[in-house]
Each structure stands twice: as C-alpha cells, then as structure tokens.
Amino acid sequence: MNHGDFFKLIKQGIPHGTFLMHGEEEYVKAQAVKATTELVDPDLRPFNISVLSKPTPQELMESCETLPLFADMRIVVCNEFADGTEASKYADVLQNHPQETLLLLVFKGKLPSNSAVLKSVKSSGSEVLFDRLSLSECARWCMKHTNEAGVFLPQDVAMLLVRCVGDEMTNLVSETDKLIDYVGEGNTVTAQDVSVCTRAALDVRIFDMLDMFTYGKTGDGVAALHALMDEGNEPMSISAFLSSRFKLMLEARRGIDAGRQKRDVVAAMEGNKYANEKAFDAARRFTQEELLGLIRDLSDTAYMKISGAAKDDKYVELVLLKHDWRQFPV
C-alpha cells in the first residue's frame, strides 16, 4: 500500500499486525507514525507506546510481548534493525508477536526489492511505501496544512508555492508555515505573498538561471548568478552544484537519445522529482557533447581559482559566458 492507503486505514482505528514503512519521503513517513501513535489515549501513551532504535530480536520481542495497559492495543515503533543482525533473526517476532501489539518497522530511505527485510515482512505483514509526492499531492498537502491553521491557500497559489520551493516536504512545510505566519488566520494567501515570503530552493533557482542563459537572456542569467553569490553562496559551491545539474541533464539527454519516455527517465533519476523534470526539459536543448563540455569546464574552476586565472567571484561567470548559449535550439 502507499501512504494514502495507510492514512485511510488508520482512520478506522489502530490496525493489527506488522507494517514495514520505507521510501524516500521521510516527512510523510514521520507524519504517518505520529498520526498512528496519536490514536492512543494521551494519558496512556507512556505505557502503550514503545519506540526502539535498532533493537536486537530479543529486545523487540520483549517489547512486543508487553501487554497493553487499560487498552485493547499497544504500539511498538522499531526504527530499523540492529546493525549486523540478519533480518531472518527477526522472523519469529514478526510472525508471532501478540495480536494486541501493532508493530511499525520504520526504515530510512527506500529498501531495494531484494532486501531481506522486505522479504521477511512480506511473508508476515504489510508493506507501506512512501514515495516522493507528486507536485499536485504536495500542493494538496500545503492546502490542508494551511486550512488547519485557518488560512486559505488557493490551488493555483499552492502549485506556485510548490514550483518555487520544490517537492522536498520538510522544506515545503517550513515555507508554508512562514506563509501562515505572514498572512495570519482568516486570510487568503496570494501569489504576491508567495513571492515575498518564500525562498526558492537552490536547485530550482539554478535551473531558472540556466533557463535564462539557454533562452539567450545572458544578462539576466549573469544577474541571477550575482544574486546567488550576494546571498552568501560560495562560487565553488555554485560551480559544484552547476556541475551536478549538468550531469543530471546529461543523464536525461542520454535517456532522450535512447528514445525513452520522460516519465521513465525521471523515475530512474535520483533526488528531487521536480528538479529531475526540469533537468529533462532543459536537456532537450543540449547535445551530449555540449553538456560534457560544460561539465569539463566547470571541473576546471578549482584550477582557475588556485592559479589565479580568475578572481573568486568571476570564474563561474567566465565558464558560463564562454559558451555561445544562443546557438542552442529552444
């Protein structure tokens, strides 16, 4: 099941059994655990909720076998297994823990399909996969979050917020909280409020800057680069980030040249889904050779700094201006 299925399930009360929670979306995963534990009577939570970090099989079994106090169910949250302990060692507790105990196995990141943990749980429990949310899901989450605070966030403004900040939920919720504080209870968030209050994620701003160069707006691109540096971003950090973006675009370009669909190429790329989609769209305007040339030139920026061939605040600009951006098809 996915995160949506799990949230629907717990609306019916505390479920029985074992649930393995894994996937790239850590914020929603944490919210799912929080929402489940909040089903326990607040006065009884110290007695009926146990949170363990990398327990041994014996420690996990002992916690699961503890009977609930003045309640029908208790919850055990197991944050990963003990280092160096084979998943098979936990088979007994996964299959035989008391029916009165809900066991949540929480693992950071997404487990590979051949994971021994995944195989162990599938035979005796349920898998809950927390994939990154789509942009529309992120927008709906922000709308729900603001609504709970008494602030109205229109759908089009919510999408603007997501496209500005990106789909990393921890950062997105933080920026949404800033908007809530700025607008105030009982008011409506506008596009102008988003512009004033939120700071776009660095990867989104880098791609916006690249768009300016690739569409021939070199002056605007240079101004955007200077703005990034004026805000305290080190030129070497910008260079390294640019290089990583061009490598991402190269991966996308190779997928395009292989005739693969955008959906499949983006799904195979690591990291921020929105940034990956931007990389794919930007890659359409480059050849593999052009991207390799930009990556090589950016790799030389460290030498340019050490040798004194360019001032600290100029070498990234020199690399970008070296290329004839107007030649790239748009």
Q: Quick: pLDDT tens for 129-178.
A: 999 888 899 999 999 999 999 999 999 999 989 887 878 898 899 999 99
Percent of the chain with pLDDT over 70: 92
Indicate the burial class of 93 (C-beta count within 10 angstroms; 0-12, 13-18, 19 or more).
Answer: buried
Q: How many CB atoms lie within 10 A of CB 209?
A: 23
Question: What CATH architecture applies to the domain 202-327?
Answer: Up-down Bundle (1.20)
Average pLDDT value over all residues in the chain: 87
Highest mean pLDDT among 1-5, 132-136, 299-303: 1-5
* Total-model pTM: 0.67
Q: CA-to-CA distance for 266 and 278, rounded, in angstroms?
A: 10
Class of domain 135-197: mainly alpha
pLDDT on residue 57: 93
Residue 293 has pLDDT above 70, yes or no: yes
pLDDT on residue 304: 60
Pick the CATH number of 3-129 from 3.40.640.10, 3.60.10.10, 3.40.50.300, 3.40.50.2020: 3.40.50.300
The answer to whether 133 touches 28, Cβ cutoff 8 Å, is: yes
Q: Pick the residue with more confidence: 209 or 158?
A: 158
The answer to whether 253 touches 286, Cβ cutoff 8 Å, is: yes
Q: How many CB atoms lie within 10 A of CB 330?
A: 10
Enter the tokens of residue 108.
């950071």
Q: State the pLDDT confidence band at 330, using cuts at 50, 70 and 90.
A: very low
Q: Which long-range contacts (CB under 8 A, 24 or more apart) does 176-185 make?
A: 176/142, 176/145, 176/146, 179/146, 179/151, 179/153, 180/145, 180/146, 180/149, 180/151, 183/151, 184/151, 185/149, 185/150, 185/151
For the chain, give every domain's residue range.
Answer: 3-129, 135-197, 202-327
pLDDT on residue 142: 95
Enter the tokens of residue 14.
């505390």
Q: State the pLDDT confidence band at 46, using cuts at 50, 70 and 90.
A: very high
pLDDT on residue 117: 86
Indicate the burial class of 258 (C-beta count within 10 angstroms; 0-12, 13-18, 19 or more).
Answer: exposed
pLDDT on residue 311: 61
Residue 107 has pLDDT above 80, yes or no: yes
Least confident piece of the model among 36-40, 144-148, 155-159, 226-230: 226-230
Reported as a single tens digit per residue, the pLDDT across 265-281 is 988 887 767 678 888 98
Residue 285 has pLDDT above 70, yes or no: yes
Q: CA-to-CA distance for 219 and 213, rounded, in angstroms?
A: 8
Residue 102 has pLDDT above 60, yes or no: yes
Q: Pick the residue with more confidence: 61 or 117?
A: 61
